[in-house]
């Protein structure tokens, strides 16, 4: 698998984004692991796509300067790009269709911490997809 993050893998649809962040939604699953809060949906993949569409968001309230937000967003994208192969390590694993990574840290986070957290979260999402394709109300905690 190529370690790239192509345009088709980026989540940009306002409808899907609003569904991911909708309060009280039963179809969206949530997972927490510092420094991330992750929202994800399991749906049939669009026709030509086999990889999930992802969104990375960093709060302007926590990081006032755009340079800091861009640095953290770059680190998050890099960690995801290098570890997205974990979704498909075993044939029974199932990746979510849409994922939103929200950085909840209050200070800059080193790349190593982001990558370790990303690996664990991707592993969790793949295992949850194995158990059932239907969303549950259960939350995964760190």
Q: Looking at residue 21, which CATH number applies to its domain? A: 3.30.230.10
- Boundaries of domain holding 57: 8-131
pLDDT for residue 46: 61
Greater pLDDT, 87 or 61: 61
- Domain assignment present for 1: no
pTM: 0.82
- Domain assignment present for 136: no
Mode of pairing for the β-strands spanning 98-103 and 53-58: parallel
Confidence of residue 123 (pLDDT cuts 50, 70, 90): confident
pLDDT for residue 133: 44
CB 12 within 8 A of CB 75: no
- Domain assignment present for 142: no
- Domain assignment present for 141: no
- Domain assignment present for 81: yes
Domain count, the chain: 1
Q: Is 125 exposed, middle or buried (0-12, 13-18, 19+ CB in 10 A)?
A: buried
CB 37 within 8 A of CB 100: no
- Domain assignment present for 24: yes
pLDDT for residue 108: 96
- The yes-or-no verdict on residue 90 having pLDDT over 70 is no
Structure tokens, 13: 């649809």
- Domain assignment present for 138: no
């Amino acid at each position: 698998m190529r370690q790239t993050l192509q345009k088709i893998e980026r989540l940009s649809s306002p409808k899907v984004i609003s569904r991911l962040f909708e309060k009280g939604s039963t179809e969206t699953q949530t997972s927490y692991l510092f420094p991330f809060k992750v929202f994800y949906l399991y749906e049939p993949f669009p026709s030509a796509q086999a990889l999930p569409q992802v969104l990375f968001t960093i709060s302007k309230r926590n990081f006032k300067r755009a340079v800091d937000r861009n640095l953290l967003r770059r680190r998050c994208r890099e960690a995801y790009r290098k570890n997205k192969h974990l979704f498909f390590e075993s044939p029974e694993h199932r990746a979510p269709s849409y994922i939103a990574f929200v950085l909840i840290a209050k200070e800059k986070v080193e790349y190593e911490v982001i990558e370790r957290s990303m690996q664990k979260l991707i592993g969790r999402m793949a295992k949850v997809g194995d158990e059932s394709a239907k969303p549950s109300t259960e939350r995964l905690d760190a």
